[in-house]
Each structure stands twice: as C-alpha cells, then as structure tokens.
C-alpha cells in the first residue's frame, strides 16, 4: 500500500475511535481531509515514509528546561539573553532546550495561553525562537487541555459567535461528577454568563484555565494547525501538557480515557509523517502504571516524563535508604526502541506526589513532607475521590531540598545535590536538567510572597550580570554546581552505554549503595553506576558487581584506574562511581 493511502486509512481509524458515539456536523472523511491539508500531508509528495521503532535520540541528548525569562538582562529581550546564556554556559554539554510556554498568557506562568500563534512580546518574537532552534533542538509546550479565560476564543464563547464559540466543555452542576479526578482544590465548574444564558464551564486547573471540548472536531483541527506552525518555526520536541485530562465524559474519572490515548496516537501519526525526527512527550503527572500506558504499543508518546523518579530519589537521599527507589527501578519495563523515558528530578512545577502513590508508604510520604517543610518547602493540595484534601506536590528548589536529611541540615548539601544528578544522568532515558538546578538556585521567598503561588518558590528570575558574577566566583554555590554538573555531562555524553535505550539492570548492593549497570547497544561498553546515598563512608566490593577480570576498568568520574576486579572501594558520603571497561 502506498504511504499516502496508508496514512489516510490510519488517520480515518484514529478518528473513528475518537468520535465513536459522538454526533459531528462533518463526516469523518471530511475531518480526515482537513487534518491532512492542515498538516500539509494532502499532497502525497509531502508524506515522509516512517521507519518503525526508530530512536530519534542518543547519548548526546540533554535537555535544559527553562522559562524564556529565567535569565534577564536590561535592554535585551529575554530570549536573546537566553540564547547568549546557552552559548556561553551550556554548549557543548547541552544540545536541546525546553522553553516553557513563551506565548501571551494570563496566569500560571504561561500555562494559561491567550494566543497560541504569537510569542509573548515581552520575551521576544518568532525570529528569536527560530534562532535558538537553529543551534539547539527545541522543545515547546502544546498546552492542549485548556486555554486562558481571557483568550479571544473564550470571548467568542461568551458572545456566542466567531471562532471559539463552541470550543469549550460545559456541564451541569446536577451532573454526577463524583468520579472526576482533580489536581486542584478549586471548584470544577465556572459559572459564566453568555449570550446563550448561564453556562458552567469545565476548569480542571483554575477558573482562568478553561477546558477545551474535543468532541468538536474544530478544536482538534485548530491544534493540528498550531502544531504545523510550531514545526515551521523549528520546534522538534512537543510536550503535551496535561494531556491526560483531554477527553471528558460525564460519569467517568475524565482522565486517561481511551479517546485521549487515541488522540495522542493521531497526533503522533500526523507529526511523524510531516517531520520524521520530531518527538512527542506526554506530561502526565499521574500514578506510575497509568503514566506508562502513554507509550501505547510504541505508537503513542515517543517519550514519557518519568514522574516517579523525583519523589523516590529525594526520599532515598534524605533517608539514606534506597529500598523504595530500587524496588521501583526493578519494576520498570525497558522502553522499546522508538520510545524512551524523559528523566528529570526538578522542574518549574514541584515534586509530584501522585506518581509516588503505591510506591512510597504513607509513613515515608509524611516524613518526606515534613522534612521538605523544614527546608523551606511548601505543599500544594488536591481533592481526592472522597472529597478530602491530599498532598499533590512539594514546592521547593532542589538545592534546598537536598541540604540535609531527616535528621536536619548538614554539611553534605552540595555532595547530596550532585549525587542526585549523577544518578539521574546515568539512567535509561533522556535527562532533562532544570536551569535552576544547573545554577543551584535556592528557594525564592520574595517571588513566593509577591505571587502567593507555591510554585513560584522555584521560578527565580536571574539578572544576567549578577549571574555572570556568581558563575565567575569559584567559591559560590552556583559556580561550584555548574562546574560539577557540566563536567559530569561532558563525560556522560561521550559514553555509548548511556544511550537512552542502552540496557539497564538494577544492582543488588544493599540499602545504602544504589547501583545499576548500563551496557551499550553494541554490547562493547559496560558502565557500573554506584552511588553512596548516605552521609557515612560505605565500602563497595567490586566482586558484588562482577567486573570481568580480563578487562581494564576505570572510574569515569575520578579517572581512577581499577586494576583488581576483587578490590574494595571506599566511597565517601554521596560519592558516585561510573566504572567502565572502555573510556571514550
């Protein structure tokens, strides 16, 4: 079957699943044709052949996560300043950048989008975005579940005419909404007076973030046009924000519904035929098993956020016990070729706790919460199924989160902080490094006070000149962290055994040493990654990791040669070794 014919049949199948039981004013064939035309795939000469299970990444891929204005310089657009920062302080260790929503917005630091087609003029313009995309693989957010209540679309919803007048999901207060899963404590429905009378608009996150109604095919077609625009401006990685909530159906939890999964499959089909090296990453801050489902059968997300890693690794380092982290690691399936994990341990949001459900016992969770609050953190809440409030995420800068253990603050903060990143850098998957971790930025209490939003504590804005001064001072925590993390990345990105899809096995080294083995796809290089996750010296017996005695081994980090496969290594508190048989 010709690629173009197969594409049409595939898209039609996706639409049949999504709109089963939904009355639409257009036929599925008409919707299909409009989608293909919007993406530029109606001409068979534009349809690229797809190679199944192809990895669009390797060990050199590292993503820096940042807001467009995380670093500012007087008299310069922040996107220009960001580009300068990337060139001076990130190259060649980081080859990709995730610029968090850079569109006009009304709240939630960008995630309440007013206009998807424009760059926030306070940041710069599309030319600045394209210039960054020329030098770095660019990741952008597709805020697909909701938009701003101040958008032109929602204005038209209120007027009852024009584009957007039928874009939003409404329900009745009398509907059975008891099963709906919420990430927030605000009321789900927003009363809105419109030209058609009072409407109750669905708001999963806040009343300034009004949810789309994907039962209307015009919403889907509009988002495909947005994707096309982003591709044309150099975006190659698409972060599908809050996508788990996309499809609503009264009487269900309204999360992870089959129509949502099929919509992700459809988006992937269209994107990969238009731009085969483009990647979609699902952002689903939900329990681990549900998160894994977004891989599908290697036909949904290319990558999923590894949301369970941050709370489990944080728990490991503050307790000095890796049992929970190790058990989770052993349960994680290896990603098929063509899919991978997106690893991170800090982000612009917080440390999500739903992904730890079923993985951390309640006692451990309570200890984690109280410890983070001692280190200046805040806790955000959600409404559980029974109507009670439950902790949703911890809001804290990672550098401050790791300044101590359950026993309190100590002198090992920097070592613990570096240890956390060293563990993350070696894991199966692509590492995502938050800019404020690269810079060891602490809690921003002034910003927290100004916004009264918990997440602001980890969304500091640096003055570029001040940052330069800090990074030139070798004694500052910022310079120390930057030097050590970039040194690790320089080593990491040269090792084939750190390919995102290279083999990984968890090592059994007790509860105080956390280790795993990576082997390159060609099986030539092995790396044994072992970390002392305690504040006391630990002994690593190399016989426990079964080094092959005929090979020459070296710790990549310390560059120490290992001449005896039976020797014992003394690991200082929070020290990590990357023991390899081949040094690149």
For residue 561, the 8-state DSSP code is E
Residue 248's closest CA among 160, 346, 177, 190? Answer: 177
Give rounded-to-5 percent helix, strand, coil for the chain: 35, 20, 45
Catalytic: which of 208, 211, 241, 535? 241
Task: Please answer whether residues 7 and 273 qualify as being in contact, where contact means their C-beta atoms are separated by less than 8 angstroms.
Answer: yes
91 phi/psi in degrees, rounded to 5: -75, 140
Residue 461's closest CA among 486, 441, 476? Answer: 441
Say how far apart CA 224 and CA 39 lie, in whole Å.
7
Say how far apart CA 83 and CA 94 lie, in whole Å.
12
348 marked as part of a ligand binding site = yes
349 marked as part of a ligand binding site = yes
61 is catalytic: no
CA angle 13, 47, 138 (to 5 degrees): 100
What does the DSSP assignment read for 471-538? HH-TTSHHHHHHHHHHHHHHHHTT-GGGSTTSEEEE----SSEEEEEEE-TTS--EEEEEEE-SSS-E
User: Alpha-carbon torsion 63, 66, 69, 74, what sign?
Assistant: negative
518 marked as part of a ligand binding site = no
Say how far apart CA 61 and CA 341 lie, in whole Å.
12
End-to-end CA distance of the chain: 44
Say how far apart CA 61 and CA 496 lie, in whole Å.
12
Say how far apart CA 374 and CA 391 lie, in whole Å.
16
474 phi/psi in degrees, rounded to 5: -60, -15
Task: Please answer whether residues 537 and 580 qualify as being in contact, where contact means their C-beta atoms are separated by less than 8 angstroms.
Answer: no
Say how far apart CA 327 and CA 346 lie, in whole Å.
21
Say how far apart CA 548 and CA 442 lie, in whole Å.
43
Say how far apart CA 265 and CA 365 lie, in whole Å.
35
128 marked as part of a ligand binding site = no
User: Alpha-carbon torsion 567, 573, 579, 584, what sign?
Assistant: negative
Which CA distances in Å does 166 have to 201, 214, 286?
A: 12, 10, 29
Say how far apart CA 109 and CA 237 lie, in whole Å.
20
Say how far apart CA 430 and CA 428 lie, in whole Å.
7
User: Alpha-carbon torsion 444, 445, 447, 451, what sign?
Assistant: positive
Length of the chain counted residue by residue:
584
484 marked as part of a ligand binding site = no
Count other C-beta atoms under 10 Å from residue 218's C-beta: 18
240 marked as part of a ligand binding site = yes
For residue 64, the 8-state DSSP code is E
CA angle 199, 204, 210 (to 5 degrees): 50
Which CA distances in Å does 351 have to 64, 354, 368, 389?
A: 17, 9, 11, 17
Say how far apart CA 363 and CA 351 lie, in whole Å.
17
Catalytic residues, by residue number, are 241
Query: Residues at the annotated binding site for substrate?
Result: 108, 146, 239-241, 348-349, 455
Query: Residues at the annotated binding site?
Result: 108, 146, 239-241, 348-349, 455
């Amino acid at each position: 079957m010709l690629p173009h014919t197969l594409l049409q049949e595939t898209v039609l199948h996706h639409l049949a699943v999504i709109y089963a039981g939904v009355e639409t004013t257009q036929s599925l064939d008409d919707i299909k044709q409009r989608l293909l035309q919007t993406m530029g795939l109606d001409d068979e000469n534009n349809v690229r052949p797809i190679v199944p299970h192809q990895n669009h990444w390797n060990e050199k891929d590292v993503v820096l996560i940042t807001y467009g204005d995380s670093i500012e310089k007087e008299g310069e657009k922040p996107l220009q300043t960001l580009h300068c920062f990337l060139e001076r302080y990130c190259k060649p260790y980081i080859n990709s950048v995730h610029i968090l929503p850079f569109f006009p917005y009304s709240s939630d630091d960008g995630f309440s989008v007013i206009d998807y087609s424009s760059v926030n003029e306070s940041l710069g313009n599309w030319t600045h975005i394209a210039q960054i995309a020329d030098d770095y693989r660019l990741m952008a957010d597709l805020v697909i579940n909701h938009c701003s209540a101040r958008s032109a679309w929602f204005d038209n919803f209120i007027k009852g005419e024009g584009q957007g007048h039928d874009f939003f999901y409404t329900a009745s207060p009398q509907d059975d909404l008891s099963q709906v899963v919420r990430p927030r404590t605000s009321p789900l429905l927003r009363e809105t007076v419109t030209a058609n009378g009072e409407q109750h608009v669905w708001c999963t996150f806040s009343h300034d973030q009004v949810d789309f109604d994907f039962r209307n095919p015009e919403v889907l077609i509009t988002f495909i046009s947005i994707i096309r625009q982003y591709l044309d401006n150099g975006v190659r990685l698409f972060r599908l924000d809050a996508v788990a909530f996309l499809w609503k159906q009264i009487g269900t939890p309204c999360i992870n519904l089959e129509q949502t999964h099929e919509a992700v499959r459809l988006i992937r089909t269209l994107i990969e035929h238009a731009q085969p090296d483009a990647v979609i990453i699902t952002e689903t801050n939900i329990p681990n098993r549900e998160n894994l489902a977004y891989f599908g059968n290697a036909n949904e997300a290319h990558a999923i956020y590894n949301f369970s890693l941050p709370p489990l690794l944080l728990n490991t380092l503050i307790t000095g016990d890796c049992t929970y982290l190790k058990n989770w690691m052993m349960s994680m399936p290896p990603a098929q070729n063509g899919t991978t994990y997106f690893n991170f341990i800090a982000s612009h949001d917080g440390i999500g706790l739903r992904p730890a459900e079923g993985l951390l016992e309640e006692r451990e969770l309570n200890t984690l919460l109280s410890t983070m609050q001692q280190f200046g953190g805040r806790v955000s809440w959600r409404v559980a199924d029974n109507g009670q409030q439950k902790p949703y995420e911890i809001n804290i800068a990672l550098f401050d989160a790791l300044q101590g253990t359950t026993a309190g603050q100590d002198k090992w903060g920097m070592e613990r902080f570096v240890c956390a990143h060293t563990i993350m850098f070696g894991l199966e998957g692509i590492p995502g490094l938050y800019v404020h971790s690269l810079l060891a930025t602490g809690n921003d209490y002034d910003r927290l006070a100004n916004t009264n939003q918990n997440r602001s504590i980890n969304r500091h804005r640096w003055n570029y000149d001040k940052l330069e001064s800090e990074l030139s001072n070798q004694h500052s925590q910022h310079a120390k962290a930057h030097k050590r993390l970039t040194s690790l990345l320089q080593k990491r990105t040269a090792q084939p055994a750190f390919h995102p899809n290279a083999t990984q096995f968890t090592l059994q080294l007790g509860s105080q040493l956390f280790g795993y083995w990576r082997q390159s796809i060609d099986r030539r290089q092995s790396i044994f990654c072992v970390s002392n996750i305690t504040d006391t010296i630990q002994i690593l017996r190399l016989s426990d990791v079964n080094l092959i005695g005929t090979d020459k081994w070296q710790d990549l980090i310390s560059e120490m040669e290992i001449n005896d496969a039976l020797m014992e290594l003394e690991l200082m508190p929070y020290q990590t070794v990357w023991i390899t048989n081949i040094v690149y």
